[in-house]
Amino acid sequence: MNLYAILRTALLVCLLGPAVAQQPPYPTIGQVVRVDPRLDKLIPADAKVEVLASGFVWTEGPIWIKDQACLLFSDVPQNTIFKWTEKEGVTPFLKPSGYTGLGPYSDEPGSNGLTLDRQGRLIACEHGDRRVTAMVLNGSGGKRTLADNFNGKRFNSPNDVVAHSNGSYYFTDPPYGMPKKEKDPGKETEGWGVYRIGPERAGVPGPVSIVVSDLTRPNGIALSPDEKTLYVAQSDPLRPVVMAYPLQADGTVGKGRVIFGADGMKKLGLDGGFDGMKVDLDGHLWVTGGGGVLVLSAAGECLGQIKIGAATANCAWGDDGSTLYITADMYLCRIRTSAKGW
């Protein structure tokens, strides 16, 4: 998200007031664009994109908390994690969410990507504090840092994260939370990497290793249902790609391959880079980009797009696993699908 977009949306917030939770029947936005008949098995013909709440600055990182029947999501510029429930609407959940220092840091200081690990902890990528954290949701254990550096050099601004069932984590580290992007004098690492945090041992976070170092703007990240493939979406508009990397037994990755990129976007009449993504149980990729959510087969064929009509950041499965919650610009949205997330 560039500074112009942030200022534009911030102006809208000033004009519209604070975030507003909508009431059923929810207003709708956008449309479903069907490219391949296979999409009909994933999204019902009458499916609509519902706007659950609006008036945020830049929404990101949605994650469904099953035992609380709620959605958590980040507003990165507001340095806040919000909570949404069908009954109560939107309430602040955690502030500050990603920057605990004093004074201004950047346009996007808060938490970005969120996920849950096998212990049920909330795992957060924190821009301003330049770290990945774990927090016990029942409030009994507080928050702890899983990683904030690689070989003694601080990360740039961890962006999105996925938890492996073996207790390890993979996350991306582009420059979007840095005060002056790559020209920031505080930048310590070389390039923009994809990292792995090893499983904890006796309560101690595992070692940090870099698994991908040749992407210019690694952003969204996800695992295939069998956890044999790591997907990384790149937000660089000059090289928009969705990459697939085979996972090795030791947690490293093999040679990556492009499964979707600029040519595919061009055929759809879209441009720009990719952001967050999720995978369903059948291996389809739901990738944000081009003003909505692209639905790809595991082979990288585009089946269609959930077109929001606004810059779309991320998505997550919720409810019984068939509802796709979407964070897009100033909106929190959802769409009922026939797919099942995991």
Q: Is the pLDDT of residue 1 over 80?
A: no
* 342 belongs to a structural domain: no
Q: What percent of the chain has pLDDT over 70?
A: 92
Type of residue found at 139: G
Strand partners, 222: 231
Q: What percent of the chain has pLDDT over 90?
A: 85
Section 152-171 average pLDDT:
97
pLDDT band at 181 (very low <50, low <70, confident <90, very high): low
What tokens were used for 335?
A: 């769409």
Cα separation, 249 vs 162, in Å, equals: 17
Q: Is the pLDDT of residue 107 over 90?
A: no
Q: What is the pLDDT of residues 39-63, one digit of tens each?
A: 999 999 999 999 999 999 999 999 9
Q: What is the pLDDT of residues 79-96, one digit of tens each?
A: 999 999 999 999 999 999
Structural domain of residue 40, as residue ranges?
3-336
Q: Is the pLDDT of residue 312 over 80?
A: yes
Cα separation, 126 vs 173, in Å, equals: 10
Domain count, the chain: 1
Strand partners, 114: 124
Cβ 117 vs Cβ 141: under 8 Å: no
Neighbouring CB atoms inside 10 A of 43's CB total 20
In CATH, what number is assigned to the domain containing residue 302?
Answer: 2.120.10.30
Cβ 49 vs Cβ 335: under 8 Å: yes
Cβ 295 vs Cβ 302: under 8 Å: yes
pLDDT band at 4 (very low <50, low <70, confident <90, very high): very low
Neighbouring CB atoms inside 10 A of 269's CB total 8
Backbone angles phi, psi at 267, to 5 degrees: -60, -30
Helix (H, G, I), strand (E, B) or coil at 166: coil
Cα separation, 124 vs 159, in Å, equals: 9
Residues 6 or more apart from 199 whose CB is under 8 A from it?
166, 167, 168, 206
* 341 belongs to a structural domain: no
**pLDDT score for 16:** 45
**CA proximity to 209, closest of 157, 251, 154:** 251
pLDDT band at 187 (very low <50, low <70, confident <90, very high): confident
**pLDDT score for 15:** 43
* 210 belongs to a structural domain: yes
* 23 belongs to a structural domain: yes
Cα separation, 195 vs 170, in Å, equals: 6
What tokens were used for 104?
A: 């201004």
Mean pLDDT for the chain overall: 92
Cα separation, 217 vs 14, in Å, equals: 31
* 177 belongs to a structural domain: yes
**pLDDT score for 183:** 58
**pLDDT score for 176:** 93
Q: Is the pLDDT of residue 9 over 60?
A: no
Q: Is the pLDDT of residue 324 over 60?
A: yes
